[in-house]
Structure 1
Amino acid sequence: MHLHCYSWTGAGDDLRREGERRPPLPPGDLAAFRASPLPPMRTCDWLLKPATRIDTSPPTVTEAQTWLADRYGTAEPSFLHPADEARIGLDLRLKIAEESLAGGTDVLWGIWLKAGGFICLVVVCCSPNRHADYPCPCRLTSP
């Protein structure tokens, strides 16, 4: 297993466009899904997005945690409800992420930002992924 980190920041209202956030069933033409900038509904479906959407592929869980902490820290001044986030705390988030990733479970942090914004920070387990038998996006050649 290895890890891929993804992020998305945008208007929270855009997340309502669920049709763009789900791959076609039965599996068919993925072009529209892959081209959409929106985050998928399921974390495992990030693996269907182009490899260019990968922010980094950390070699260890610890490095994935560092990526999460860095991205969280960058977004923190824009949190819509900083007091609520403080109750959860970064340390607890990182501890849960460590346990999840070590057990092969994807991690998704979704946080509302000021002015209707939303940020998704995602670490996806790849090859294998617990929820989908997708090839590694780094091995896909089509856009």
Structure 2
Amino acid sequence: MTGPHHHAYVWLGSGDVLVKPGDAHRRPGHPEFRSAQVMPLECADWLLKPAARIEATFDEPKEAADWYAAQLDHYAGVFVGSYPPNPSYDETVRALSAGEDRVGGWWVSGGRFLSLNLIACSSHRVRRDLVCPLR
């Protein structure tokens, strides 16, 4: 893939793994980083994970926004508290059209954490040194 696009990533896991002890395994310099199933500390670092971790790839911002909204619907039953996430669809499309990431993270039932990510690629507007994991 060479043109601007977004890769989708999902992580749902025990909140204890996020701080197993400390967060070194969530940083690219750590030997376990690429194989660690936990989300990276910095969202753009998803692009450094193996391509097999990509849930979907979108060339069109509206398609990516549809995926993000569908994921929120899919996980609606596990959100904790009375305020489930409700990001604006139009704002998501605007952000993705501008080459920005759309990320969200929420504590969910059972002491778990859900991370939904649409990461800009080719190139990432902040981390231009990162290459597309599908190349």
Output the CA distance in 2 between the equivalents of 1:100 and 1:42. 18
Amino acid across the alignment from 1:122: N
What secondary structure, in the 3-state scheme, does the structure 1 residue paired with 2:83 have? Answer: helix
Amino acid across the alignment from 1:4: H
TM-score (norm 2): 0.88
Equivalent positions of 1:80-99 (< 5 A) are 80-81=80-81, 83-85=82-84, 89-90=86-87, 92=88, 94-99=89-94
Q: Which runs of 5+ in 2 are unaligned?
A: none
Amino acid across the alignment from 1:127: S
Output the CA distance in 2 between the equivalents of 1:89 and 1:127. 28
Equivalent positions of 1:50-65 (< 5 A) are 50-65=50-65
Of the structure 1 ranges 108-117 and 10-19, higher mean CA displacement relative to structure 2 is found in 10-19
Output the CA distance in 2 between the equivalents of 1:111 and 1:45. 19
TM-score (norm 1): 0.84
By percentage of residues, which structure has more strand? 2
Output the CA distance in 1 between the equivalents of 2:121 and 2:67. 17
Amino acid across the alignment from 1:58: F
Q: Which runs of 5+ in 1 are unaligned?
A: 25-29
Per the alignment, residue 48 of structure 2 pairs with 48
RMSD: 1.5
Which structure 1 residue ranges, 4+ long, deviate > 4 Å from structure 2?
none
Output the CA distance in 2 between the equivalents of 1:89 and 1:71. 12
Per the alignment, residue 10 of structure 1 pairs with 13
